[in-house]
Amino acid sequence: MSAEPPAPLDGFDGTVHAPNRLRVCALLDTAGEAEFGLVQKQLGLSASVLSKHVTVLMEAGYVEQRKAVRDTRQRVWLRLTRQGRAAYRGHLAALRAIVGSGIEAAPGYDRDGSPGYDTDG
């Protein structure tokens, strides 16, 4: 008896999935740590919208913040926690599985998503 492949929704995380939260996680996964204002600028979000999404991620234990004084102003630095990085990467894997299974299951298409018929006539 062979093992069944994981269901496409294994690892899918509704907290990470919201577009702006997904973008925050992607930026922090790449950057490691980033100042709030830089994240805001990179993502083109207002401070209030970013703050709302960061709060959701923090409440889930996915993002932590560090406050520090720089140039006489208090700055907030954001980074993914270990749990947040695992949730983000698991979510990406789930999305890839969903997309991959959709291509394989689509009738009339090859595994690479191209039409499964000869287009040369």
Q: What is the pLDDT of residue 116?
A: 56
Residue 50 pLDDT > 70: yes
Residue 110 has pLDDT above 90, yes or no: no
Burial grade of 13 (CB within 10 A; 0-12, 13-18, 19 or more):
buried
Give yes or no for residue 5 having a pLDDT over 60.
no
Q: Are 8 and 98 in contact (CB under 8 A)?
A: yes
Smallest Cα–Cα separation from 79: which of 67, 96, 97, 69?
67
5 vs 56: which has the higher pLDDT: 56
Q: Extract the tokens encoding 100.
A: 């991959």
The 3-state DSSP class for residue 109 equals strand
Full set of structural domains in the chain with CATH: 14-96 (1.10.10.10)
Query: DSSP readout, 32-83?
Result: SEEEHHHHHHHHT--HHHHHHHHHHHHHTTSEEEEEEEETTEEEEEEEE-HH
At 59-93, the pLDDT tens digits run 999 999 999 887 888 899 999 999 999 999 999 99
Which pTM value belongs to this model? Answer: 0.74
For the chain, the C-alpha Rg in angstroms (whole number) is 19
